[in-house]
Amino acid sequence: MDFSLTAEHEMTQKMVRDFAQKEVAPIIREWDRKQEMAPEILPRMAELGILGICLPVRYGGQGMDFISLGLACEELEAVDSTLRVTMSVHVGLSSLTLLQWGTEAQKEEFLIPLAKGEKIGCGAFSEPGVGSDVANIQTTAKLDGSDYVLNGEKMWISLASKADYALLTARTDFEPERPTDALSCFIVDLKSKGVSTGDIKGKLGVRAGSTGWISLQDVRVPKESLVGEAGEGFKITMSGFDSGRYTVAAGATGLIRACVEASVAYANERKTFGRSIADYQLVQAKIARMAQDYEIARLLYLKVGWLKNQAVRNTLETSMAKQFATDASFAAASDAIAVHGGYGYSDEYPVERYLRNSRGAMIYEGTNEIHSLIQAGYALGTRKDRPLRREMPAYEEDLWHSN
Amino acid sequence: MVIVYIDHFDGRAVPASWEALNVGRGLAEELGSEIKAVVLGSDVEGIAQEAKDYGAGEVFLADLKVLEHFRPEVYTEAVTQIVQEQGAEIVLFPTTGRARELAGMLAIDLDTGVTPDVVAVELEGSVVVATRPIYAGKLLTKEVNQARRPQILTTRSRSFQPPEKGTGGEGVITRLELELSEPATEVQGYKESNRGTSLSDAAIIVSGGRGTSNNPSLKPPPEITDEKEQEIWRAHQGFELIGELAKVLGAAVGASRAAVDAGFIPYANQVGQTGKVVSPDLYIACGISGAIQHLAGMRTSKTIVAINKDPDAPIYKLARFGVVGDLFEIVPALTEALREKLDKA
Amino acid sequence: MNIVVCVKQTTDTAATLSVVDGEASYGDAALVLNPWDEYAVEQALLTKEAEGGKVTALCLGPDSAEDALKQALAMGCDEAVLILDAVFESADTLVVSRALAAGIEKLDPPELVFFGKSAVDSDTGVMGPQVARRLGWPSLNLVAAIPELDASAKTITVERLLEEGRQIVSGRLPAVVSVVKEINEPRYPSFMGIRKASKAEIPRWSAADVGLSGQIQPALSWPEILAPEKSEAVCELIEGGDASEIARKLVDRLVEEKVI
């Protein structure tokens, strides 16, 4: 067993950190206040290859491994959650899902521009009335000649208004044997006729990001847009979550780290009753807790990254990492505000933004309550992994680096 | 013998040259040795005269066309010849871009060490124990050259007392006709000449940070639509206020790295670990929170005044006086108050 | 065009330094490619992109300095060489400049050698000029811009950032150019570069490999390292009803303390 990062990992970490700290950290407060995404961020992340970090070179990616993806997410969210959200939907939900389930033709047409960052992808699963209960999706896709015709509403979709493509789950079977057989996945060009999108304002957090809705009215997509087979939509969506949740876990770990760093800096700087507040044991207890949670969250996500590199199914481990890190990041941000006192409550300091940003990740990609159920299912033996028709490939030199 | 190189630009000696001369004079006295100066250039007799007035016992003057512009190769050749001829024990330079380079190259010619940017010297026998900052002043090191001669050092601006003018006078000026080779470089000219005081020589520095753009009540003109440009425009208004304050004080204008990186002000104004390291009598930091890299570049200032909105900004740890407030109100008020004071005086 | 960029590994500029057992200690701060050298690497790469050729990064340092070279490779340098030898352990600029000049002479003859203007740890700021002197090439120091470079005519024009403004100097190649921060904005390493760099086997040259033996004694020694005295300043907060009252109080205090 070897816990050390390779030189490759360390350089990746430093590169993404430098980008986030130098280019985003100085401007993030302003864009968070404006509730808009800074326009230069997606093009910069594309240019630097971050948007295609762990996709094979032959599909336009950078050929790094899954651990690198996690490390990048940690660094991004240590500056702002919205940067990591981009990775979750663009890399996790859309690109990696296409890598796992897409046909060669779909990879050629959609994955390559996504991995190069020329196009932006998102994952369109949730609906106004459907969140974690994916099997209940109401958006419909009906075969009409050589096209599917899509109708419905998608809600809480990160990058809805910025993305070019959506990996979208819709109902194709209206009398299924099992509810989960009802669904299919599509890769949809959001420029298609009948698609409209918009942003949701007034969110508690991730304000410098884009979260929105997608409305589909008689949208015709060729039947080659079907990802996987008809009826595989539930499994594909769940595979997408195995990728997306990993980025959420790694990102939340970065948020905890940001809380530790901000709290340590402030505790050393601030004096009350003539002493540095770092001398007070109740402040120390909070910092110790954050530091411990950071370490735990990091071990969890890095293990998932390692499992992914070996192509070992990791639904359980990913669920644990996601739930633990996001719960801990919320607690860490709350404690960081306590350490900062009144200043922590205003946006003079970043910790109030950390708190607002942390809360969403306990809801999306499966609420943390759902994650408890998943984990209990594995523990009680009521839930078991079954082999998938298409597994995510292992990180292997040949597949990832050859042209 | 102690030889001091007098650096100059545009017909005027750099003030730090006289500080170096004074250091040399002190060392020479202690060693019971002579203090001599070197002035190289074209049409620089006035500077040689000045060196004599400042106490050089002998001034070697090479007033030659080939030395019209500072070019390190030919200047090194000249200094090497003089130092070898004279057999100097110690050669001092002021720490300027030019003289530091020259000192380094001289050390190669004479196969000896070079100790740049010295802030203190003492003698142990004939050996100079120099103190110089490392890690941008986060630490200091003592540095000695035990065996090789000469000992070459450059002295940091404003770290040593300048001599009183007219304390010398007994000295002589010796004109040298040196045989020098034409170097492979040519000076085409100068631009963006900064005729004011340079940051390293300034007795007072007024610096601005990222906070200079932080005046939301300023509305940029409508033709500036780009957010970034608007921010820079706002920062320019902030630096204008800083400039006015600097003018009243006869100060140089500095900036934090954050302000330089954001494009508010050119790099030449940057104070800090990756900019200029300064130690003026008075340093007024406006809207600078005080990142460790910035503090490293100005911590040796004699008196630091911090003006910042954030009462917990680290800059207050170094500051003698602090004002918690908006620089857009405080700085103009300070300019006004100083004007009143100076008018009365 | 063959280009060499000389780099050093230093502590990160955010490091906190202290003196432990008479030695400088940077705790667990990261070691990085000297921040000034990033500009030198970038300028070398920009020059290669414009003129063709290859960039070799050259470093003298301990084992760990390989990471600084890897960073240079990840940014896009083609090759890297580490000069490493126990005899360099307490090297001063006299020794280091000698080793680097010897290293450069062992490489394919370059037209340009780039340096950062200084290293953020030892901060001597003389390495570029010293190596230039040893090689007998023009030293173009404190360069803030390179408005002209003609590889076929072997000429270069640079702007040197002096305290008083910019001096425009032209010279002949080969030359040594030491750059200041203003000259460019260093790129981040690419992922492709990172992968290449992490697999790279960096050749190591000993003192003997670069033809140095015998006379490599430093001239300088460092008998003591000290922490600067903590400033005794206790910040006196100037308060008042409005800005002009605060300003007048501040001016009065500055006059009382004979600051102005």
Helical H runs in chain C? 35-51, 66-75, 93-106, 127-135, 191-199, 243-256
Give Cβ neighbours of residue B292 (< 8 Å, ≥ 6 apart).
B314, C13, C14, C16
Judged by phi (left if over 0) then psi (alpha if -120 to 50, else beta), residue A194 lies in: left
Q: Say if residue B222 is in the same domain as residue B158.
A: no
Instruction: Give pLDDT, residue B136.
Output: 84
Q: Say if residue B155 is in the same domain as residue B249.
A: no
Coil, strand, or helix at residue B341? Answer: helix
Which of the other chains make 3 or more beta carbon contacts under 8 angstroms with chain C?
Answer: A, B
Q: Which two tokens stand for residue A320?
A: 């644990």
Q: Say if residue A157 is in the same domain as residue A250.
A: no
Residue B195 lies in a domain: no
Q: Say if residue A293 is in the same domain as residue A175.
A: no
Q: Say if residue B287 is in the same domain as residue B331.
A: yes
Which CATH number belongs to the domain containing residue A350 in this structure? 1.20.140.10
CA distance A48 to chain C (A): 7
Residues facing B118 on adjacent strands? B155
Residues of chain A contacting residue B261, judged by C-beta atoms under 8 Å apart: 22, 26
3-state secondary structure C142-203: EEEEEEEEECCCCEEEEEEEECCEEEEEEEECCEEEEECHHHCCCCCCCHHHHHHHHHCCCC
Residue A403 lies in a domain: no
Whose CA is closest to A326, among A352, A303, A296, A284?
A296
For residue B195, name the pLDDT band (cuts at 50, 70, 90).
Answer: low
In degrees rounded to 5, what are phi and psi of residue C120? -70, -10
Which CATH number belongs to the domain containing residue B264 in this structure? 3.40.50.1220
Report which DSSP code applies to B342: H
Cis omega before residue B221 (within 30°)? no
Q: Which two tokens stand for residue A391?
A: 């597994």
Give Cβ neighbours of residue A179 (< 8 Å, ≥ 6 apart).
A135, A136
Packed helices B97-109 and C127-135: angle between N→C axes, nearest 10 degrees = 40
Residue B194 lies in a domain: no
- pTM of the predicted protein model: 0.88
* CA gap B36, B51 in Å, rounded: 9
The interface residues of chain B toward chain A in range 219-258, judged by CB-CB distance below 8 A, are 258
CA distance B169 to chain A (A): 54
Coil, strand, or helix at residue B188? Answer: strand
* CA gap C239, B324 in Å, rounded: 8
* CA gap C34, B134 in Å, rounded: 14
CA distance B55 to chain C (A): 26
Instruction: Give pLDDT, residue C232.
Output: 63
Residues of chain C contacting residue A12, judged by C-beta atoms under 8 Å apart: 191, 194
Residue B188 lies in a domain: no
Residues in chain B: 345
Q: Say if residue A22 is in the same domain as residue A81.
A: yes
Domain boundary among B175, B195, B224: B175
Q: What angle do CA B139, B144, B147 make, to 5 degrees?
A: 160
Of A127, A317, A352, A365, which is the active-site residue? A365
Whose CA is closest to A122, among A82, A75, A161?
A161
Which CATH number belongs to the domain containing residue A184 in this structure? 2.40.110.10
CB burial of C83-99 (b: ≥16 within 10 Å; e: otherwise) equals bbbebbeebbbbbbbbb
CA distance B339 to chain C (A): 10
How many domains does chain B divide into? 2
Within B95-171, strands assigned E span 114-118, 120-124, 127-134, 139-144, 151-155
Residues of chain C contacting residue A49, judged by C-beta atoms under 8 Å apart: 190-192
Encoded amino acid at A243, one letter: S
Residue B171 has pLDDT above 80, yes or no: yes
- Which run of H or of E encompasses A286? helix A281-309
Q: Which of A11, A49, A63 is facing C198, going by the closest CB pair?
A: A11
Q: Say if residue A332 is in the same domain as residue A249.
A: yes
Coil, strand, or helix at residue A340? Answer: helix
Q: Say if residue B88 is in the same domain as residue B208.
A: no
pLDDT tens digit sequence for C168-181:
999 999 999 999 98
Residue in C with minimal Cα distance to B308: C237
Q: Say if residue A319 is in the same domain as residue A288.
A: yes
Q: Give every residue of chain C whose pLDDT is below 70, as ranges.
A: 215, 231-233
Q: Say if residue B262 is in the same domain as residue B134.
A: no
* CA gap A147, A224 in Å, rounded: 8
Domain boundary among A120, A136, A155: A120
Which CATH number belongs to the domain containing residue B80 in this structure? 3.40.50.620
Residues in chain C: 260
The interface residues of chain A toward chain B in range 240-299, judged by CB-CB distance below 8 A, are 266, 269-270
Give A375-389 as a DSSP string: HHHHHHTS------S
Q: Say if residue A270 is in the same domain as residue A371.
A: yes
Residue in B with minimal Cα distance to A38: B227
Q: Say if residue B208 is in the same domain as residue B138.
A: no
Residues of chain A contacting residue C70, judged by C-beta atoms under 8 Å apart: 7, 11
Q: What is the mean pLDDT of residues B171-182?
A: 93
Q: What is the mean pLDDT of chain B?
A: 92
Coil, strand, or helix at residue A298? Answer: helix
- Sign (positive or negative) of CA dihedral B287, B293, B299, B301: negative
Q: Say if residue B36 is in the same domain as residue B162.
A: yes
Give Cβ neighbours of residue C97 (< 8 Å, ≥ 6 apart).
B108, C126, C127, C130, C131, C133, C134
Contact across the interface for B310 and A270, Cβ inside 8 Å:
no
Interface ipTM > 0.90: yes
Q: In terms of residue numbers, what domain contains B234?
A: 204-344
Residue A1 lies in a domain: no
- Which run of H or of E encompasses A189? strand A183-189
Q: Which of A7, A19, A63 is facing C191, going by the closest CB pair?
A: A63
User: Averaged in consecutive runs of 10 residues, what is the pLDDT profile of chain A (403 residues)?
Assistant: 91 96 92 93 97 97 97 98 97 98 97 98 94 88 97 96 97 91 97 96 92 97 97 96 97 98 91 87 97 98 98 97 98 96 87 96 93 97 95 92 88
Packed helices A315-340 and A233-269: angle between N→C axes, nearest 10 degrees = 30
pLDDT tens digit sequence for B27-54:
999 999 999 999 999 999 999 999 999 9
Residues of chain A contacting residue C190, judged by C-beta atoms under 8 Å apart: 48-49, 62
Q: Which of A356-370, B188-202, B252-266 has the lowest average pLDDT? A: B188-202
Residue A2 lies in a domain: no
CB-based contact, A8 to chain C, within 8 Å: yes
- The neighbour count for residue B29, using CB atoms within 10 Å, is 11
The interface residues of chain C toward chain A in range 135-194, judged by CB-CB distance below 8 A, are 188-192, 194
Q: Say if residue A271 is in the same domain as residue A363.
A: yes
Q: Do residues A248 and A83 touch, judged by C-beta distance below 8 A?
A: no
CB burial of A266-302 (b: ≥16 within 10 Å; e: otherwise) equals bbeebeeeeeebbeeeebeebbebbbebbeebbebbb
Residue B295 lies in a domain: yes
Contact across the interface for A270 and B312, Cβ inside 8 Å:
yes
Q: Say if residue A58 is in the same domain as residue A73.
A: yes
Residue A373 lies in a domain: yes
Contact across the interface for B97 and C17, Cβ inside 8 Å:
no
Q: Say if residue A386 is in the same domain as residue A243.
A: yes
CA distance B133 to chain C (A): 8
Residue A51 lies in a domain: yes
Q: In terms of residue numbers, what domain contains A89?
A: 7-120
Which of the other chains make 3 or more beta carbon contacts under 8 angstroms with chain B?
Answer: A, C
Annotated catalytic residue A127: no
Q: Do residues C123 and C111 touch, judged by C-beta distance below 8 A?
A: no
Question: Could you tell me the CA-to-CA distances from A215 to A36, A86, A166, A218, B218 in Å, in that order?
Answer: 21, 21, 12, 10, 41
Q: Say if residue B125 is in the same domain as residue B57.
A: yes
Domain boundary among B175, B190, B221: B175
Q: Say if residue A64 is in the same domain as residue A156.
A: no
Whose CA is closest to B263, among B304, B305, B230?
B230
Q: Say if residue B129 is in the same domain as residue B235.
A: no
Cis omega before residue A26 (within 30°)? no
Which of the other chains make 3 or more beta carbon contacts under 8 angstroms with chain A?
Answer: B, C
Q: Say if residue B100 is in the same domain as residue B140.
A: yes
Q: Which two tokens stand for residue A346?
A: 């205003």
Residue A76 lies in a domain: yes
* CA gap A234, A374 in Å, rounded: 15
Residue B232 lies in a domain: yes
How many domains does chain A divide into? 3
Q: Say if residue B91 is in the same domain as residue B235.
A: no
Domains, chain C, with CATH or none: 2-205 (3.40.50.620)
* CA gap C57, C33 in Å, rounded: 11
Residue in B with minimal Cα distance to C121: B135
Give Cβ neighbours of residue B290 (< 8 Å, ≥ 6 apart).
B306, B313, B314, B315, B316, B317, B318
Q: Say if residue B169 is in the same domain as residue B221.
A: no
Residue A54 lies in a domain: yes
Which CATH number belongs to the domain containing residue A84 in this structure? 1.10.540.10
Coil, strand, or helix at residue A266? Answer: helix
Coil, strand, or helix at residue B336? Answer: helix
Whose CA is closest to C105, among C73, C81, C69?
C81
CB-based contact, A13 to chain C, within 8 Å: no
Q: Say if residue A250 is in the same domain as residue A218.
A: no
* CA gap A199, B43 in Å, rounded: 71
Q: Say if residue A244 is in the same domain as residue A378.
A: yes
